[in-house]
Amino acid sequence: MMPWPIGEERGGGKRFAQSAERNKGPILEVLRRVLPASGLVLEIASGTGQHAVHFARALPSLQWQPSDADPELRRSVEAWIRDEGLANVRAPIALDVHDEPWPIDRADAIVCINMIHVAPWESTLALFQGASAVGATTVFLYGPYRRFGAHTAPSNEQFDASLKANDPTWGVRDLEAVEKVAMERGFALAEVVPMPANNFSAVFRKMGSPPARGH
């Protein structure tokens, strides 16, 4: 279950997170460039579902597969899908990155937003292991990161402290450490994009795969 409520309840299981509403536009602009022109995108830790329907609406040539380990959040995703009526969003699946194997055979790309800092470090390892197992050629991560051994803003340092106070296994990760894990599982860091509110988009490509054509 959720360690704390994510978003506000909007009835019928639907939840609304103001942070997701703020960042969905900037994230979409990066996704337009870095996701494949067609295929299946697996979203890990979909949260409320706001991102899933926003991205799927804007990228109709892609099939979107939301997932979350939390049943309350899967209900929220279902409610967003139901209200939006989009044909290219699948029903959310129960997926914990530590599951072996993942409950999906193949995905062309992985999108994971604001997850690895609210999970143990082992979840980052499992994320890239699973991405490799399902044959993804692109992994997109979004969130706060330390760069070159230091926080990028005082607010991120405070956020890191609050995460660790809640759970000592959580915390803002060093992007260079994430890159090392990715490389060990066959993914190279292709691009780092500074984002609003001291966040970053990190784009990883399967080594030897052609670049995405974008949208």
Distance from the first to the final alpha carbon of the chain: 36
Per-residue pLDDT of 109-149, as tens digits, reads 999 999 999 999 999 999 999 999 999 999 999 999 999 99
110 pairs with which residues across the strands?
A: 42, 139
pLDDT at 1: 45
Per-residue pLDDT of 42-75, as tens digits, reads 999 999 999 999 999 999 999 999 999 999 999 9
Distance CA 61, CA 185 (A): 28
pTM: 0.95
| CA neighbor of 108 nearest in space, from 46, 58, 65, 148 | 65
CATH among 3.40.50.150, 3.40.190.10, 3.40.50.850, 3.40.605.10 for 16-206:
3.40.50.150
Break the chain into its structural domains and give their ranges. Answer: 16-206
